[in-house]
Amino acid sequence: MLMRIGGNDVEGVDSRWIDVKNPATGELIDKVPAGTDEDVSRAVDSAEAAFAAWAKKAMRDRGMILYHAAQKVRDQHKDLARLLTLEQGKPIRESIDEVRGYANILEFYAGISAHQQGEAIRLAHQGDCIVVHQPIGVCAAIIPWNMPVLIMGWKIGPALLAGNTMVLKPASSTPLTNLRLAQILEEAGLPAGVLNIVTGRGESAGEALVKHPAIRKISFTGDCTTGGKIRQIAGMHKKDVTLELGGSDPMIVMHDAAIDKAVEGALRGRFYNAGQTCTAVKRLYVHEKIATVFTQKLKERVDTLSVGNGLGSRIDMGPMISKEQREKILQAVEETRQKEEGTILSGGSTLKGSAYEQGYFYRPTLVSNVVPGARLVTNEIFGPVLPVMTVPDLDTAIREANTTQYGLGASVWTQDLATVKRVFDEVKAGIIWVNRHLTVPPEVPFGGVKASGNGRENGQHALDGYTQTRTLFLGW
Ligand code: NAD
């Protein structure tokens, strides 16, 4: 597929291409241009040209375009989900969830398009003020490969509704569904140039976008190290930046938890999307009173998970995105084994057999008795490996939960309100779930604290993040 700039399919300036491969089979699906500085400039020029007319439209009219696009996405959800599974690997059921989640986001922002209001402040003898929220201008969105469709929705929904125009750079391994979704938006009435997609690598197209002088705001989702670089560049150029970065969410299961429900929560929380989710359950702390029975039940469930090509029927977990990502997991588990930092209860290896040879599969892995300070608990493990730790009490669970640099999400599984209050007050995370994990509907502000980032996706908060407040002071 080609880049989408100014309403046209466009080749790259220097005719280099990036292969897009199916991570389940290694087969070439398509290729996209490896965008350069010049391609980024073309896209930014086109977004700048489209800005004035788009910003002038009534918010309700912009919302209607998002709404129509959502209906088209719903009509085509099977084809879109198939494309997503082909390029990303996740089971088709999860791709359908994600595509519908994208439509939900657009519908949510269409639905609140009548609610963006300013303020009037009466100052008696000094005069009166009118405060309005205006779009910022041309914004950049840089997104990762793990949930490319949902994250595209999180960024374009509020940004476009607020009246901004945008240049989006997909991850180089998963650009196809993003490109198709951009076409659908235009088919639904989005004027040419309002959303442009530049394909390419992070260090070239991504960095050029961050540095481009006409970009006023950058919304980035990805790794903490990349986020740090982007923050630095944005700071030098005095640009507004929202960073949605990595996480290592703890899940705390107390002795009064509904055990079977918590087991299912941990299973989905960790192994959904082959463990490649920012808010996956990455550390599990179980109260000692239930640890044996809980771990046994969890192991039984982990052992039933079927791994395979996401297009197959009854597949619970697909491949990882790439050889490099799988290599990181192989190394982390190997280190645990060699340093005797935990006991591998399930998995701990790749899969054998012809169905797995060309793909990047890894077995769902459960590791118990992981020692504090082990890499499995200090680093973000972005794959299907779940470390389980037994804790004697809530104090220990909270202390351990706070030991990493991350602060994206956390969950507590309990029937006790006092426990919930302590976890909410003391565990440092942007979102605390009670008796569930992972769910992030469009209404709910979402984002991290500590090294997990700043700013918020979703809800009114994200919309505010794509506006600037201006004041008219009337001195009578
Ligand atoms: P990544 O940082 O490697 O890449 C993300 C995007 O940034 C890609 O499009 C990439 O091409 C681009 N990029 C890379 N280097 C760049 C540079 N120097 N300048 C500009 N752009 C650059 O991250 P990834 O491996 O694709 O994604 C996985 C990470 O994303 C994990 O840490 C995960 O937790 C995090 N994540 C966070 C959230 C959240 O909402 N907080 C959601 C999903 C994923």
State residue 259's pLDDT score: 98
User: CA 210, CA 215: separation in Å to the nearest integer?
Assistant: 7
Q: Could you tell me the distance, in angstroms and rounded to a whole number, from the CA of residue 287 to the centre of ligand 1?
A: 34
- Ligand 1: which of 150, 151, 177, 223 to mutate, most ligand atoms within 8 Å of CB? 223
User: CA 73, CA 197: separation in Å to the nearest integer?
Assistant: 18
- Residue 98 tokens, joined: 């994600």
Total-model pTM: 0.97
- Ligand 1: which of 98, 229, 278, 321 to mutate, most ligand atoms within 8 Å of CB? 278
Closest ligand 1 atom, residue 408 Cα: 41
State residue 125's pLDDT score: 86
Summarised one tens digit per residue, pLDDT across range 406-456 is 999 999 999 999 999 999 999 999 999 999 999 999 999 999 999 999 989
Q: Could you tell me the distance, in angstroms and rounded to a whole number, from the CA of residue 222 to the centre of ligand 1?
A: 2
State residue 365's pLDDT score: 98
State residue 114's pLDDT score: 79
Minimal-distance CA residue to ligand 1 atom 12: 202
Q: Could you tell me the distance, in angstroms and rounded to a whole number, from the CA of residue 417 to the centre of ligand 1?
A: 36
Summarised one tens digit per residue, pLDDT across range 16-64 is 999 999 999 999 999 999 999 999 999 999 999 999 999 999 999 999 9
Closest ligand 1 atom, residue 210 Cα: 20
Of 116-120, 259-263, 322-326, 378-382, the one with minimum mean pLDDT is: 116-120
CA distances 269 to 142, 248, 274, 276, 463, Å, are 25, 12, 10, 10, 28
pLDDT band at 238 (very low <50, low <70, confident <90, very high): very high
Q: Identify which of 231, 228, 249 has the alpha carbon closest to the alpha carbon of residue 382.
A: 249
Q: Could you tell me the distance, in angstroms and rounded to a whole number, from the CA of residue 141 to the centre of ligand 1?
A: 11
**Are β-strands 409-413 and 28-33 bridged in parallel, bridged antiparallel, or unpaired?**
unpaired
How many other C-beta atoms are found inside a 10 Å radius of the C-beta of residue 347? 21
User: CA 304, CA 106: separation in Å to the nearest integer?
Assistant: 36
Q: Could you tell me the distance, in angstroms and rounded to a whole number, from the CA of residue 192 to the centre of ligand 1?
A: 27
- Ligand 1: which of 221, 273, 321 to mutate, most ligand atoms within 8 Å of CB? 221
**Pocket around ligand 1 at a 6 A CB cut-off:** 142-147, 169, 171-172, 201-203, 206-207, 210, 221-223, 226, 229-230, 244-247, 278, 380, 382, 408, 448, 453
Closest ligand 1 atom, residue 209 Cα: 20
Closest ligand 1 atom, residue 171 Cα: 9
Minimal-distance CA residue to ligand 1 atom 10: 202
Q: Identify which of 132, 130, 190, 134 has the alpha carbon closest to the alpha carbon of residue 157.
A: 190
Summarised one tens digit per residue, pLDDT across range 393-410 is 999 999 999 999 999 999
Overall residue count recorded for the chain in this entry: 476
Closest ligand 1 atom, residue 227 Cα: 2
With a pLDDT cut of 70, the percent of the chain lying above it is 100
Per-residue burial over 295-320, b = 16 or more CB atoms within 10 Å of its CB, e = otherwise = bebbbebbeebebbbbbeeebbbbbb
User: CA 14, CA 27: separation in Å to the nearest integer?
Assistant: 25
User: CA 438, CA 446: separation in Å to the nearest integer?
Assistant: 11
Q: Is the pLDDT of residue 101 over 80?
A: yes
Residues facing residue 31 across a β-bridge: 19
Closest ligand 1 atom, residue 325 Cα: 25
How many other C-beta atoms are found inside a 10 Å radius of the C-beta of residue 19? 11
- Region 312-317: mean pLDDT is 95
Q: Could you tell me the distance, in angstroms and rounded to a whole number, from the CA of residue 206 to the centre of ligand 1?
A: 10
What do you get for the CA distance between the two ends of the chain, in Å?
58
- Ligand 1: which of 98, 142, 143, 173 to mutate, most ligand atoms within 8 Å of CB? 142
Summarised one tens digit per residue, pLDDT across range 150-184 is 999 999 999 999 999 999 999 999 999 999 999 99
CA distances 373 to 243, 424, 471, Å, are 26, 24, 51
Q: Could you tell me the distance, in angstroms and rounded to a whole number, from the CA of residue 144 to the centre of ligand 1?
A: 5
Minimal-distance CA residue to ligand 1 atom 20: 206
State residue 476's pLDDT score: 84
Summarised one tens digit per residue, pLDDT across range 376-391 is 999 999 999 999 999 9
Closest ligand 1 atom, residue 225 Cα: 2
State residue 205's pLDDT score: 97
- Region 322-327: mean pLDDT is 97
Contact 120, 464 (CB under 8 A): no
- Ligand 1: which of 201, 226, 229, 325 to mutate, most ligand atoms within 8 Å of CB? 226
Residue 244 bears catalytic tag: yes
Q: Could you tell me the distance, in angstroms and rounded to a whole number, from the CA of residue 234 to the centre of ligand 1?
A: 16
Contact 143, 116 (CB under 8 A): no
Question: E strands along 222-354, which residues?
Answer: 240-244, 249-253, 281-287, 343-346
Residue among 94, 207, 278, 341 flagged as catalytic: 278
State residue 115's pLDDT score: 78
Residue among 87, 107, 186, 244 flagged as catalytic: 244
State residue 116's pLDDT score: 77
Residue 357 bears catalytic tag: no
Summarised one tens digit per residue, pLDDT across range 188-227 is 999 999 999 999 999 999 999 999 999 999 999 999 999 9
State residue 241's pLDDT score: 96
Structure letter (DSSP) for residue 57: S
Summarised one tens digit per residue, pLDDT across range 331-371 is 999 999 999 999 999 999 999 999 999 999 999 999 999 99
Summarised one tens digit per residue, pLDDT across range 128-148 is 999 999 999 999 999 999 999
